[in-house]
Structure 1
């Protein structure tokens, strides 16, 4: 049976092109779809349409922006099962997690609709008489749309991380051209269809699957006023260096860590870490990768944690029971297998897993005795591997968390308020979660990192701040 051809979405129109990309199932390699790919001509057409649409989208009444966003949210909920199945097909995410992603995308659009309304009343009167020469003057400011936005999204949340770019852009009054991940473009194109059906004006959105070379034009093209990128740290920071005068927002990687204090609820910690370390096969930038356990809690925690990891169901992502599915490519399985073998060769111990189940699936793995410089610890694993180490004190654990080039989110399990506050004061991360894993996120919160983990924050309210500029008015009476 021939796989269907999915057109790209160019300034409000479905468009078939000469070039195509294949979308294949990460689980079994089967062909899911052919997708039309944009070349330089389609890129130029989309960019011109985006620039021409910018004044019209900026002038779109707030109530109309909010209506479109709410309608998309409603449509996502109505089509939840079909969209979840599509996520499974293209990303290999277990069905239970794919359904959650659709729910989250619906919330992202719902919150963006509310933030569009708040934006209309976000101005402020500023007193000018703080100095004598400011007397007889009145000032106020408002936020105005920044203009054309370029977006690049990753494979691991092919619907919701696209929503986190498209929904705030519209709420702020900006048109956007998006390059979805080449391996998972179908969810982004489905979302574009829903926005079009909700009445999004032509030119406000283009979703263009394209090669990295063509997509790189989004980075360097000065017609775009903002670049928002989610992906790996190396790629993101290289983009920033070439982005020219445009504003850049980066949501990058991490090797998220957890500290477990003596006296913590160890059963709860074990359950949450078994989820946070292995959901989506560890392919999340806030997946638990490092765990530092107080000596006094070690034996009890490990006795609770390892059986939970070993009980995880691994296999077909369409199976309702599956917890851990495939990695996105066989190359990623080979990579994490090599990193694990390197750590073991340097003295690490495999407590469970440690090997591939197939060319596409890596077993949920727990390691200990891993050197902090080992790639499986120091770099972003993006795989179902967790490193667990003993520490003599909470302070040692907090220092170990900070001993990283990354700083996205971290978790601390403790019953002591002073420990929680110390973690909040000292951890060099964008977010600290107490008695939960760093993998947890709700879509309206400010989300992002420091150090190599990024620049700026996601969450509709905070993305809108980056997607707008302050404009000041001073009136002399």
Structure 2
């Protein structure tokens, strides 16, 4: 356990494996529920909120350290997650940017004054840190997924206990060391690693945890929310994000967006494109363009700078993707390119056409490099198909018709709709989150900071 500013000796450990080579990279502590309890109680006893200017300085210092050590961090992320080095280099910069934005927002957290109508009193609102935040993060993007939870917690003045994925814990531990080096008091941060079925409940149900922020599957998120009953929760539970391409679309743009959104991070992104919904006659040319895009992707060793698509996080994950592709083909889809498991957990970028809207491949969140094309007759059918899953995270629409886009944007049950951009569009400055089973609350640095704050109201006599 990373506690009191250093990595503590562990009674039990587990191996962290490289998804590409299968070799052990390092060992991580397998913490117990009792150790988690002791650590959280110690944080509660010692934590005191920092001044906003000090919070900002710590976050800026951490951003500087990430940029200074970007090369070694990117390699570590690739080795433990399998994401190709070209993408993990971008992840380090994205994480640093999130920290800088959080530093700026830490000093912008302002209340307001409200003259109370009909009464001679003035109300003042004050943002205060919610307390101790438990941050439970997934395996994909193991640096930035931690940063987008820890940075706003620090900016809000909270202490934070991080539980990274047991598949990718090493990056979180490296980042924790940087935060301490940047000046974060040791009693403000714990990183606990090990069996999620042990640590997750121990954190979510702990009486000294004030808020749980979780990114992961719907099933696990609902379990966490149940255990955390009575606490504030912020849940990002994945998506089945569509890119809707209308007949008047710029097809070059549509193909480029679909290729980026479906194949980046080997398709292991909650906001990645999971469905390409082609309206009318556009489908033939769109599918052909996607085949060309997939053929141009090099799949293989994630540490090779020329690689575009690395392995999935595990062989089990790759087998699931392979099976869903086969099931879709059995149901009538046409496999136009790729989809085979080449080595271990490496899946070749796949393009499928004529995919039935009820195929498991496109009903569930498929974490793999797959671009499934669903053909629909008109915009109304596109909306029905897009809304036809339990998810509602983000969507993209490619069209030149702004009025038609506005109609689609109003009808889609999602957290964000992007015109001429994919559902994978993001910025640290804007809200991120979904509806339906995709989650509760909003991330995005300014919004997360407010989620991790409470509003205290003070009233006093208003001078006449």
Alignment TM class, shorter chain as reference: over 0.9
2:302 corresponds to:
317
Matched, 1:339 2:324: yes
CA–CA distance in 2 between the matches of 1:147 and 1:300?
A: 54
Shift of 1:75: 0.8
Shift of 1:319: 0.8
Query: Which structure 2 residues correspond to residues 145-294 of structure 1 after superposition, within 5 A?
Result: 145-215=129-199, 216-294=201-279
- Of 118, 125, 141, the residue aligned with 2:125 is 141
2:93 corresponds to:
103
Matched, 1:35 2:28: yes
- Of 105, 113, 117, the residue aligned with 1:115 is 105
Matched, 1:61 2:54: no
Query: Which structure 2 residues correspond to residues 350-369 of structure 1 after superposition, within 5 A?
Result: 350-369=335-354
Q: Any idea what SS the aligned residue of 1:406 has? A: coil
Q: Which moved more, 1:302-311 or 1:430-439?
A: 302-311
Q: Any idea what SS the aligned residue of 1:372 has? A: coil
2:76 corresponds to:
86
- Of 401, 405, 414, the residue aligned with 2:386 is 401
2:458 corresponds to:
473
Q: Any idea what SS the aligned residue of 2:107 has? A: helix
- Of 6, 26, 36, the residue aligned with 1:13 is 6
CA–CA distance in 2 between the matches of 1:212 and 1:73?
A: 29
8 Å Cα contact 1:96-1:320 kept in structure 2: yes
Shift of 1:415: 0.7
CA–CA distance in 2 between the matches of 1:422 and 1:353?
A: 35
CA–CA distance in 2 between the matches of 1:353 and 1:300?
A: 18
8 Å Cα contact 1:26-1:326 kept in structure 2: yes
Query: Which structure 2 residues correspond to residues 316-465 of structure 1 after superposition, within 5 A?
Result: 316-465=301-450
Shift of 1:46: 1.4
1:5 corresponds to:
none
Q: Which runs of 5+ in 2 are unaligned?
A: none
- What count of residue pairs does the alignment treat as equivalent? 461
Q: Which runs of 5+ in 1 are unaligned?
A: 1-7
Cα deviation, 1:72-116, whole Å, max 9, x if unaligned, reads 011111111110000000000000100010001001110000010
2:112 corresponds to:
124
User: How high is the TM-score relative to the length of structure 2?
Assistant: 0.97
- Of 7, 18, 25, the residue aligned with 2:18 is 25
CA–CA distance in 1 between the matches of 2:305 and 2:146?
A: 25
Q: Any idea what SS the aligned residue of 1:444 has? A: coil
Q: Any idea what SS the aligned residue of 2:166 has? A: coil
8 Å Cα contact 1:408-1:453 kept in structure 2: yes
CA–CA distance in 1 between the matches of 2:326 and 2:216?
A: 26
CA 1:302–1:345 in structure 2 vs 1: closer, same or farther (change >3 Å)? closer
Shift of 1:31: 1.0
CA 1:234–1:152 in structure 2 vs 1: closer, same or farther (change >3 Å)? same
CA–CA distance in 2 between the matches of 1:10 and 1:304?
A: 51
Shift of 1:272: 1.7
Q: Any idea what SS the aligned residue of 2:186 has? A: coil
Cα deviation, 1:244-276, whole Å, max 9, x if unaligned, reads 211010011111101111121101110121111
Runs of 4 or more, structure 1, over 3 Å off, are none
CA–CA distance in 1 between the matches of 2:418 and 2:20?
A: 32
Cα deviation, 1:277-330, whole Å, max 9, x if unaligned, reads 011110001111111112232222223221111221010011111111101000
CA–CA distance in 1 between the matches of 2:173 and 2:317?
A: 25
